[in-house]
């Protein structure tokens, strides 16, 4: 399992931004691990690094990832094409103000 924050250089139209992302082996799907790990990464980004916004990017049709983004309090802000592979992607976003509101 890999979860963390990175700069989504592959999608220049959303920059400047920091992205939260995750990858899990199929045997770990559906256990809440991605949500828990991504929430910790988001918390670190806002509370320890003082980020003003965090994005998350997924291929259109990846409903499981979109559910995680929604659980994190994120909301969709755009749909575009990943220039590295030509696939449609959806960008979700959470601002620090929204994060503070949802964690109270």
Lookup: tokens for 67: 């559910």
Angle at 58 between CA 55 and CA 61, to 5 degrees: 140
DSSP letter at 103 equals: H
- Model-level pTM? 0.93
The string of pLDDT tens digits covering residues 37-90 is 999 999 999 999 999 999 999 999 999 999 999 999 999 999 999 999 999 999
| CATH superfamily to which 2-103 belongs | Gcn5-related N-acetyltransferase (GNAT) (3.40.630.30)
The string of pLDDT tens digits covering residues 18-39 is 999 999 888 888 898 999 999 9
Q: Is 16 helix (H, G, I), strand (E, B) or coil?
A: coil
What's the confidence (pLDDT) of residue 29? 85
What's the confidence (pLDDT) of residue 104? 64
What's the confidence (pLDDT) of residue 102? 80
């Amino acid at each position: 399992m890999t979860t963390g924050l990175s700069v989504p250089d592959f999608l220049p139209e959303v920059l400047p931004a920091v992205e939260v992302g995750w990858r899990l082996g199929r045997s770990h799907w559906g256990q809440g691990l991605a949500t828990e790990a991504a929430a910790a990464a988001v918390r670190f980004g806002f509370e320890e690094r003082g980020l003003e916004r965090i994005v998350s990017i997924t291929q259109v049709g990846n409903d499981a990832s979109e559910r995680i983004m929604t659980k994190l309090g994120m909301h969709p802000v755009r749909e575009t094409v990943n220039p590295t592979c030509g696939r449609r992607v959806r960008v979700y976003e959470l601002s620090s103000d929204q994060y503070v509101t949802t964690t109270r």
